[in-house]
Structure 1
Amino acid sequence: MNITVKVTNNYGSKAVYPVCRAAKMFTMIAGTVTLTPPTIALIKQLGYEVQVAQETL
Structure 2
Amino acid sequence: MNSMNALLEPGMIVRHPDRPDWGDGQVQSNIGGIVTVMFRDEGKVVIDGSRVALIAVFD
- TM-score, normalised to structure 1, is 0.30
Higher helix share: 1
Higher RCO (C-alpha under 8 Å, 6+ residues apart): 1
- TM-score, normalised to structure 2, is 0.29
